[in-house]
């Protein structure tokens, strides 16, 4: 194999760290001896092809990420996310989030292969230097019109409507009950939204619209929505977007 084993070793070590897995745990899950894993992670030896595939499955990564020096990964964004909000995620939640990231990557590959067309939406001008709830209402009104809601009709399939915009959306059960959802900007898949389905369906719908608001309006690489977080004005704007899209004030 013609790839840089040192770069691959760094990627493997970072992926294991993101999931908070010990060498002993990975060894037990893969059947690869701990000493061999340690040698691979230090770049001293080159793994066999089947070992790369096995580790890619455990870490929920595309195996090409490990053997390519060019391919981008969301690992860097995930690390930033955990540095900022790491105390909000359990070990199991981190596993779910990595699975979600991998699903978004794979779904984008399918969309590209099938040449799926996106229903491109142009956001009205928003002054990002001065966060206003009214901008959330304006953006929601424009999106309803873009999706064909000309009057006060109720939405049909919310997930389907937002996926038409080219946004990847998945639902998973997360252990932290205060974590409603998150948005992350994937370097290849683009906008990705995860919804915690441990909440009732009405709350899930609101969370979905809320995260879509962040994805469309906020120039951020990621966002985590917590049911007890009321500290950021962007949260108020995303709430205004969600409520105005789901049920306009009229």
pLDDT score of 198: 84
State whether 114 and 234 are in the same domain.
yes
Asked if residue 1 has pLDDT above 60, the reply is no
**C-alpha torsion sign, points 176, 184, 186, 137:** positive
Please tell me the predicted confidence (pLDDT) of residue 2. 62
Same domain, 219 and 140: yes
Check whether residue 217 and residue 170 sit in a common domain: yes
Mean pLDDT score across all residues of the chain: 89
Can you give the pLDDT at residue 40? 94
Q: Are residues 104 and 205 in the same domain?
A: yes
pLDDT at 69: 76
Q: Are residues 55 and 97 in the same domain?
A: no
**What is the tally of structural domains in the chain?**
2
Q: How would residue 228 be classed by pLDDT, with cut points 50, 70 and 90? A: low
Q: Report the pLDDT averaged over residues 152-177.
A: 89
Distances (CA, A) of 218 to 147, 167, 184, 241: 20, 15, 11, 12
Question: What CATH number does the domain containing 44 carry?
Answer: 1.10.260.40
Whether 111 and 60 share a structural domain:
no
Average pLDDT over residues 90-117: 92
Close Cβ partners of 199 (under 8 Å, ≥ 6 residues apart): 177, 180, 207
Is 38 part of a structural domain of the chain?
yes
pLDDT of 190 reads 92
Question: Per-residue confidence at 80, pLDDT binned at 50, 70, 90?
Answer: confident
Binned at pLDDT 50, 70 and 90, residue 155 comes out as confident
Q: Are residues 60 and 100 in the same domain?
A: no
- Sheet architecture: strand order including 168-172: 168-172, 190-196, 179-186, 222-226
Q: Nearest to residue 46, comparing CAs of 6, 101, 73?
A: 6
Judge whether residue 73 has pLDDT over 90. Answer: no
Q: Which residue range is the domain that position 35 belongs to?
A: 5-71
């Amino acid at each position: 194999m013609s790839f840089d084993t040192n770069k691959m070793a760094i990627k493997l070590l970072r992926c294991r760290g993101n999931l908070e897995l010990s060498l002993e745990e990975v060894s037990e899950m893969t059947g690869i001896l701990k000493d061999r894993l340690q040698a691979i992670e230090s770049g001293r030896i080159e793994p066999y092809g089947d070992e790369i595939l096995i580790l890619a499955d455990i870490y929920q990564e595309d195996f090409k990420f490990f053997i390519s020096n060019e391919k981008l990964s969301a690992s860097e964004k995930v690390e930033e996310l955990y540095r900022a909000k790491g105390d909000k995620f359990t070990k199991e939640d981190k596993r779910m989030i990595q699975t979600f990231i991998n699903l978004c990557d794979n779904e984008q590959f399918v969309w590209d292969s099938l040449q799926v067309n996106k229903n491109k939406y142009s956001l009205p001008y928003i002054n990002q230097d001065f966060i206003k709830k009214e901008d959330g209402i304006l953006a929601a009104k424009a999106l309803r019109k873009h999706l064909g809601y000309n009057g006060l009709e109720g939405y049909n399939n919310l997930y389907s409507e937002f996926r038409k915009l080219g946004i990847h959306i998945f639902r998973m059960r997360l252990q932290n009950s205060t974590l409603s959802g998150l948005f992350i900007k994937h370097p290849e898949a683009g906008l990705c939204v995860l919804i915690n389905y441990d909440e009732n369906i009405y709350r899930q719908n609101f969370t979905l619209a809320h995260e879509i608001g962040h994805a469309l309006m906020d120039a951020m690489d990621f966002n985590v929505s917590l049911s007890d977080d009321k500290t950021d004005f962007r949260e108020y704007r995303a709430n205004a977007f969600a409520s105005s899209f789901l049920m306009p004030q009229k």
